[in-house]
A = this chain, B = another copy of it.
Amino acid sequence: MCRWLAYSGSPIVLEELLYKPAHSLIDQSLHARMGVETTNGDGFGIGWYPADHGEPDHVEEPAVFRGIGPAWSDRNLRELAHCVRSPLFVAHIRASTGTAVQETNCHPFRFQRWLWLHNGAIHDFPRLKRDLVLAVDDSLYPSIEGSTDSELMFYLALTFGLRDDVPGAVERMAGFVETTAARHGVADPLQMTVAVSEGEQLWAFRYSSAHASRSLFFSTSVQALRALHPDNPVLRRASEDTRVIVSEPLGDLPGAWNPVPESSYAVVREGRDAIRAFRPRAGAV
C-alpha cells in the first residue's frame, strides 16, 4: 500500500507539507497508521508545476524527482523540498505489491503536462496485464517505461480520452479493467485512489470494485479552519482556495480533514471545488 499527497493553492515551499507537519508524508514512509502495511520504503516521487515568476522562458511542464530508496533517508529529497516552491504539486511514497523497485515504477507518472499517482492495485495483475496493455493506443504505447499496474492505468485513461474529459476517461479505464477481469474470472479487480493534474486543476478519485476503498481525505476550506484556529501561522499564510488531498491525514488540527466518500471524486480548481459520484463505464473500448 502506498501513501500520497496532492496540493493546490498559493505557492509554498514543498517541505511545509512534506516534512513539517506532525505525521507528515515523509514520517508516514516509516510509520503509516492506516492500512495493512505501515512502511512505505520502496521508492518515492514528487512532481511539481514550477511557480511562475514571469520569466520569458517559464517552464509549464511539471518536473519530476524520483528515487528508489526510502523517502525518510533521502537527502536530495530534503534539499529539493527545502528550495522548490510550487502552487500545485504531488508526492508519493511506495510500498511495492510485487513489481520491481526502480525509478520507472515510482509515481508520479508524467505524460506531457499530466501527472498521475495511484494507491491500490489491480488484483491478479500478471494474468490481466497482457490484455490491458493491448488496449493502450499505438501512439501512447512506446511511452510506457515501467512495469506497474499504476502506470498502465494512466495509459489506459490517456487512451480513453483523459486529456479531454478527466472523470469520463478514468471511469472508462475502471470499467475496462473490470470488464477484462470479468472475462478472466477475476473478482473485484480494482482498488484505487488516484490523483491527476495538468497544472490547473486537480482531480482525486476514490473507488474500488468491492466498494471497500482505501482512505482518502481532503482539507476543509481555509476560511473555516482559520475561524477555528485563528493563531495558526500556516493557515494565515494560505490563500482562500488552498486545498490538500491525502491518503492519510497530516498534522493534528481537529476539523481539518474530510473523508472523500466511497465511489466518488473531488475536483479542485481556482476558487471552486466539488465532490461528485464515480461510476465505472463498462465495455469502454
- The residues of A with any CB-CB pair to B shorter than 8 Å are 13, 30-31, 38-39, 41-42, 50-51, 53, 55, 57, 59, 63-70, 72-73, 75-76, 79-80, 82-83, 85, 96, 100-104, 126-127, 129-130, 133-134, 138, 141-142, 144-147
How many subunits of this chain does the assembly comprise?
Answer: 4
Are B82's CB and A59's CB within 8 A? yes
Residues of B within 8 Å of A146, CB to CB, are: 147
B126 near A130: Cβ-Cβ < 8 Å? no
Q: Are A13 and B83 in contact (CB under 8 A)?
A: no
Closest 9 CB pairs of A and B: A126-B142, A102-B102, A63-B83, A41-B41, A53-B53, A130-B141, A73-B101, A63-B79, A100-B104
Contact A63 B80 (CB under 8 A): yes
Q: List 9 A-B contacts (CB under 8 A).
A: A41-B72, A68-B69, A69-B69, A69-B70, A73-B96, A129-B142, A130-B142, A133-B133, A146-B147
Q: Are B50 and A39 in contact, CB atoms less than 8 angstroms apart?
A: no
Given known contacts A30-B41, A75-B103, A130-B142, what 8 new A-B pairs fall within 8 Å (CB)?
Answer: A30-B39, A38-B38, A39-B41, A65-B79, A66-B75, A133-B133, A134-B134, A147-B147
The answer to whether A65 touches B41, judged by C-beta atoms less than 8 angstroms apart, is no
**Minimum distance in angstroms from A77 CB to a CB of chain B:** 10
